[in-house]
Structure 1
Amino acid sequence: MRYRPEIDGLRAVAVLPVVLFHAGFDVFSGGYVGVDVFFIISGFLITGLIREDLAAGRFSILGFYERRVRRILPALVAVSLITSAVAFAVMLPSFIVDFSRSLVAVSTFVSNLYFWKFSGYFDASAALRPMLHTWSLAVEEQFYVFMPIAAWIVYRYCARLWLWIFGLALLASLVLSIYATQAAPTANFFMLPTRAWELLLGAMFASIPRRVPQGNLDQIGSLAGLGLILWAVFAYDETTPFPGVAALAPCVGSVLIIYFADPQTTFVGRILSSRPAIWIGLISYSLYLVHWPIAVFWRYLTLQEPGLLGATAITAASIPLAYLSWRFVEQPFRKRTSASSLRVVLTGLAALAVIGLIGAYGWATGGTLTHFGASVAPKTPMGNTWRNGQCFYETQPNAPWNPQACEINPQGTVPVLLWGDSFAAHYTPGIVTSLANGGAAHVYEYTAAGCPPALAYYSQARPWCTDFNRNALNEIEKLGIKRVILSARWVDLRRRGLEQLESTLVALKKLNVETFVIGQSPIFITDVSVIGARGNDKWYSTVDHALNVQLKVLAEKNDAKFIDPTSALCSGATCDIRVDGQYLYFDYGHFGDFGSARAAKAYLPLGP
């Protein structure tokens, strides 16, 4: 394909928001959409090259993979090795195990599957996973498995239907993505079937001849494209349902730039083809690879979000390291040599195997290579104080909920239902302790992992949550419940829309029961044992104060009472993680028995 400098500039538009967002600049709250811009560019360029080779009769699957190996693997392997060295030097064993598993996933092109299974992109734990950003590479690599083969088949046997076939595939993937925005948001973010439409949108425009430049129309089209991307970068945030419909803005914007931004005749084209933009575009792949591990290790070593100074330092460190990677790793390996395509591919796979073996070894040894192993503070075990399998369901219940098995203080005169997910269940040991000597509340525990108490909530991953939540209303009527305590990991529901909770509040109001909404309790950047191992008894919660403000407004709007846990557990900017030498939490935010008892005594409505 003819070199188009404005596309290198578009790479700069893609990578800079991602870097600035990950570094911690809050103004770039939607910077993650830069990945979608990369998908459009990849689909456009890869498909364009495939079509050119097919038309010239020189297309080779092996040759295609040789180019991909030269383009992707050298920098990926180099960054993985350096990141491994740092991770094994500074991280605790539990982190090494998770990191090692992710290395295995990277080496087998399935890191998107790994992070879908074990993390959400916006979870607190995600900020301390050095290889998280490789999920997007895995999506592209999986696309590269299917696209060249599909393109060869379509071109050879039904070339006239090219746009129809790939257009229908695009439409199917987009529809699935829109559906999964609510049904399975984490899978929607990470998986190829719901991301393929972005790559295919770029691919479609590689098949449509570019127009002859037409002055004002080009100006309008390219400015609109840049505007759509920038609007998403600054207007979106982690609560935006994504990708789905929301991803259309950066994706359509990217296509408009590719189609209209002529470097000679348009303002956007001239900006994107400027030397600074091209330079950033050239190092964009290495910049994407190096910036995230730097941001992760900053957070891990400081146990805080970077702030303005930290974000600046992360960005400033990333750019020169990216240049070194581009200059001394990417460039030498991209040059064609006398080596056969097969040899290049096998060499690349061997390098990946080394990464996989490092990961397998760290995984198998439990991360004990790190010298920090002895300093890990003991966790508080959960045991079965949540009454797992009876009153707290980690998976779909295989038997009806039994209220008699989930009673606490049956002698109490006020029937109370504790309803929610694991952030409701973690109050159970505290309620047992608080009511050990009697009390007014007669509490029933009704909790399930990943099921916030919102009647409007639906999850493709846990479809049974819908029936579980609806059944709560039946149990409230049958048991004569007078008071309902709602608690959850509200940060998760917020991403789908806190208004989903209103369905529950309206239903409870009709039942004339007293309703309490327990706000989001503290969540920390990592396991409290890591924080405590450094001598800290208090630390900073990652929960945005605005979340509990929103919950309070929603609760009071529907005549429910709101309780803010942070008023009892935090003072100023920090929250207790350890009191009298005992941890309040057994992980990053769930109360252990000791913390649960303190929380229940401090603010749960268990009186008359």
Structure 2
Amino acid sequence: MSIEYSPSMTTRSSFRSDINGLRAWAVAVVILYHFGVPGFGGGFVGVDIFFVISGFLMTGIVIKGLQQGHFSIPDFYLARARRILPALLVLCAILLGFGWFLLMPPDYLMLGTHVIASLLFVSNLKYWDEAGYFDLASHDKWLLHTWSLSVEWQFYLILPLLLWGAWRLWPGRRMQIAVLLGALLLSFSASLWVTAFLPSMAFYLLHTRAWEMLAGGLVFMASARPKLAPAMARWLQALAFGLILASVALFDKTTAWPGYRAALPVLAAMLILWLNRASVWTASRAAQWLGDRSYSLYLWHWPVCVALVYAELNTHYLATFAGILLTLLLGHLSFLLVENPSRKVLAIKRAMPAMLGLALAASCVLLPAMLVRMQSGLAGRFASAIELAAAEANNTNPRREQCHAHQGIESPSCLYGGQKWKLILAGDSHAGAIVTALAQAQPEVGAGVVQWTYSGCAFVPGMQLISDAGSIRKDYQCSGFINWASARMQSLPPSVPLLIVNRYPEYSRETQLKQEAPPMFFSKTYASMTNEFFKEFADAIRKSSCQLAQGRQVYLMRPIPEMGVDVPRLQSRRMAFGLETDISISLKDYHARNEWVWAAQDAAHAQCGVQILDPLPYLCHDGRCYGSKDGRPLYHDDNHLSEYGNKLLLPMFAQVFRAQ
């Protein structure tokens, strides 16, 4: 951000050095975090520091304008657009041009959609809306980082109206401080509550983030520079930077954010701004260089990270180092060739020409993005086999939205085939991904398969989620659905068998850190993923299966192999680069992940005759399980079979109906 005023509490040069130094820290920890540098697990706190700085600067602009009697809300908005839009427009234009040559239609469609959302400053709403069980990996979203720009812009729209209205009612600093403090307390309270129950919403939306910017505004409202002994000021500043480093070290991507934990870096940034002390922490040449270019560096760092993932180089240390250097180069070029020239040109123009120029430039980027979106990613730019592989991402159950429940407690009970209930399919989204193949294997005319599936909810009667409300989905009630299905089953004829298909390892988070608390419980809650918890989970699978088998035939399907990568995207990219190797995992890795599930299912079979369906003979051979076959993906993401892939299981499902 440019420095557009000089606060009375300090000299312009000291103030600029202090702000730039803090900006440098913010952008450095964000870059190192996103490039996966060890020790920067909580580097996302850099965004919180940026928010504090923005609040400090914007409050200063508004308050000084009101005090001097010449504040204009339209001029404020135009100044923000002059500052933010030019570099963002250039980034979006370059990405759209890059995408024409390298992005598959689904990826290009997504990029076009995200360009529109970013330039309209609603990308935080878009990414929050996209977050969910079937969401794409973050590294497939080239403009994901613009969510923070959207939050800031939304804050910019409201802040001057709030302060101007308060000034009209009661001029003076006391009223402004009261308004800022009241708004901060409301926003912080919302952040505490929403982070606990809807963490994705808390991360992306303004009302849970505004307190961080309002905190910076309160620092500006401090009437004078603190009168502290030099040694005390030096130690306090060192403490503040120590708190930032502690935040980076203590928190990581599994931490619910922002909530009360974000108060640590926010308070640290407030203290640094309040002290306003140029030092070795902030005034070095490196810090000033990074601080001047922080906006452009922030814009370019994430696309470089995504490009490394796209090229499958993100785990290579030399490629990571080169990516950081490339970020510094691109940020420097953006600063020299876009930020500085546009700031000078737009600053000397009157409001109307500047506004029209920005609108014209934005249209030149928005219109191509809209064309990409309307034309579904502009298919036909690659060979048909490559685009067929990419299109498998959309080859899902056409009735998924209608039949796969994700809220409430009841299933729509969709029938596939005839109206006679021949078999009940219960489970989570892995069950929903195979239901069409199951129905196709059913040979009887007029008979059908009924689907009882619920998003992110393993069908294990007796299981309780610790907090159903923790889902981003409104009215999410996994436990209620399990109880409903169990009770509903009691009223059905025992001649109708039951097939249970679940993604068990996902719910135990077996691949995540063992110190995390399990998201569900049976007889008691656990503070971490202990062996005792896995034993109880496995025992619950056995007990519930045998209880259901008392009245009808029950089938349990072995877990589907999970590839760990988005198969359609990776397969199509490899084909575009001339690499046609099919994606696979080793059978050894599959068994290591699913051993405890197999043991539980085997125990149910031994105890009560539950039948086991094993998909491995149809998906695995020669010691590997394959995510693609002859260049065509079998999955529509990294773990759900596509409508093409699930048909490989037809012989297995046919066994169920032959046994009836």
CA distance in 2, matches of 1:80, 1:286: 13
Task: Give the aligned partner of residue 325 of structure 2.
Answer: 316
C-alpha spacing 1:433/1:253, structure 2 compared with 1 (3 Å): farther
> How far does residue 306 in structure 1 lie from its aligned partner after superposition?
4.0
Task: Give the aligned partner of residue 531 of structure 2.
Answer: none
CA distance in 2, matches of 1:344, 1:179: 42
Output the amino acid matched with 1:140: E
> How far does residue 102 in structure 1 lie from its aligned partner after superposition?
1.4
Give the SS at the match of 1:446.
Answer: strand
* Structure 1, 290-299 or 98-107: larger mean CA deviation: 290-299
Task: Give the aligned partner of residue 196 of structure 1.
Answer: 210
Matches of residues 412-561 of structure 1 in structure 2 within 5 Å?
418-420=426-428, 422-428=429-435, 445-451=451-457, 455-456=465-466, 457-458=468-469, 459-466=471-478, 467-475=480-488, 486-487=502-503, 490=506, 499-503=518-522, 509=540, 512-514=543-545, 518=559, 521-525=562-566, 527-528=568-569, 530-531=572-573, 533-534=575-576, 535-539=579-583
Task: Give the aligned partner of residue 344 of structure 1.
Answer: 354
CA deviation map 1:259-317 (0-9, x unaligned): 23622xxxxx32211111111111110001112222222322x2453432221111111
CA deviation map 1:123-170 (0-9, x unaligned): 653212222211111111111111112111212323423223222221
CA distance in 1, matches of 2:208, 2:458: 25
Task: Give the aligned partner of residue 227 of structure 2.
Answer: 212
Give the SS at the match of 1:152.
Answer: helix
Give the SS at the match of 2:518.
Answer: helix
For the pair shown, the structure with the greater C-alpha radius of gyration is 2
Is 1:589 matched up with 2:639? Answer: yes
Give the SS at the match of 2:160.
Answer: helix
CA distance in 2, matches of 1:305, 1:569: 28
Task: Give the aligned partner of residue 527 of structure 2.
Answer: none
Task: Give the aligned partner of residue 532 of structure 2.
Answer: none
C-alpha spacing 1:594/1:345, structure 2 compared with 1 (3 Å): closer
> How far does residue 71 in structure 1 lie from its aligned partner after superposition?
1.7
CA distance in 2, matches of 1:139, 1:387: 32
Task: Give the aligned partner of residue 108 of structure 1.
Answer: 120
CA deviation map 1:553-588 (0-9, x unaligned): 9x99xx999x99999978999862223565321344
Output the amino acid matched with 2:62: I
CA distance in 2, matches of 1:565, 1:163: 64
Contact 2:297 2:331 in 1 (8 A): yes
Is 1:175 matched up with 2:216? Answer: no
Output the amino acid matched with 1:5: S
Give the SS at the match of 1:536.
Answer: coil
Give the structure-1-normalised TM-score: 0.81
Matches of residues 102-181 of structure 1 in structure 2 within 5 Å?
102-119=114-131, 124-158=136-170, 159=172, 160-181=174-195
Aligned residues: 585
Give the SS at the match of 1:58.
Answer: coil
C-alpha spacing 1:280/1:436, structure 2 compared with 1 (3 Å): farther
Contact 2:147 2:204 in 1 (8 A): yes
Contact 2:567 2:633 in 1 (8 A): no
Task: Give the aligned partner of residue 289 of structure 1.
Answer: 299
C-alpha spacing 1:99/1:143, structure 2 compared with 1 (3 Å): same
* Equivalent of 1:58 in 70, 82, 85: 70
C-alpha spacing 1:482/1:363, structure 2 compared with 1 (3 Å): closer
C-alpha spacing 1:20/1:85, structure 2 compared with 1 (3 Å): same
CA deviation map 1:161-210 (0-9, x unaligned): 32232222212222222222243332222111121111111112111233
CA distance in 1, matches of 2:357, 2:641: 49
Give the SS at the match of 1:524.
Answer: coil
> How far does residue 449 in structure 1 lie from its aligned partner after superposition?
3.2
C-alpha spacing 1:6/1:92, structure 2 compared with 1 (3 Å): same
Task: Give the aligned partner of residue 440 of structure 1.
Answer: none
Task: Give the aligned partner of residue 283 of structure 2.
Answer: 273
CA distance in 2, matches of 1:84, 1:74: 16
CA distance in 1, matches of 2:57, 2:40: 27
Contact 1:417 1:445 in 2 (8 A): yes
C-alpha spacing 1:601/1:195, structure 2 compared with 1 (3 Å): farther
Matches of residues 383-394 of structure 1 in structure 2 within 5 Å?
384=397, 389-390=402-403, 392-393=404-405
Matches of residues 10-25 of structure 1 in structure 2 within 5 Å?
10-25=22-37
Q: Sequence identity of aligned pairs in percent? A: 28
Task: Give the aligned partner of residue 257 of structure 2.
Answer: 242
* Structure 1, 274-283 or 205-214: larger mean CA deviation: 205-214
Task: Give the aligned partner of residue 526 of structure 2.
Answer: none
CA deviation map 1:16-52 (0-9, x unaligned): 1222222233542222221111111111111122212
C-alpha spacing 1:219/1:341, structure 2 compared with 1 (3 Å): same
C-alpha spacing 1:173/1:122, structure 2 compared with 1 (3 Å): farther
Unaligned runs of 5+ in 2: 1-5, 7-11, 524-535, 547-555, 606-612
C-alpha spacing 1:52/1:586, structure 2 compared with 1 (3 Å): same
Contact 1:569 1:576 in 2 (8 A): yes
C-alpha spacing 1:79/1:551, structure 2 compared with 1 (3 Å): farther
Unaligned runs of 5+ in 1: 264-268, 438-442
Is 1:90 matched up with 2:102? Answer: yes
C-alpha spacing 1:60/1:203, structure 2 compared with 1 (3 Å): same
* Structure 1, 323-332 or 591-600: larger mean CA deviation: 591-600
Output the amino acid matched with 2:222: I
CA distance in 2, matches of 1:229, 1:235: 10
C-alpha spacing 1:137/1:567, structure 2 compared with 1 (3 Å): farther
CA distance in 1, matches of 2:625, 2:488: 36
Greater RCO, 1 or 2 (C-alpha within 8 Å, sep 6+):
1
* Equivalent of 2:628 in 578, 587, 594: 578
Is 1:363 matched up with 2:373? Answer: yes
Contact 1:106 1:356 in 2 (8 A): no
Task: Give the aligned partner of residue 608 of structure 2.
Answer: none
C-alpha spacing 1:492/1:292, structure 2 compared with 1 (3 Å): farther
> How far does residue 323 in structure 1 lie from its aligned partner after superposition?
0.9
CA deviation map 1:381-440 (0-9, x unaligned): 7565877745x336667x66559989999889xxx97322x2342244566688989xxx
CA distance in 2, matches of 1:305, 1:540: 19
C-alpha spacing 1:120/1:258, structure 2 compared with 1 (3 Å): farther
Give the SS at the match of 1:85.
Answer: helix
CA distance in 2, matches of 1:177, 1:275: 37
Task: Give the aligned partner of residue 255 of structure 1.
Answer: 270
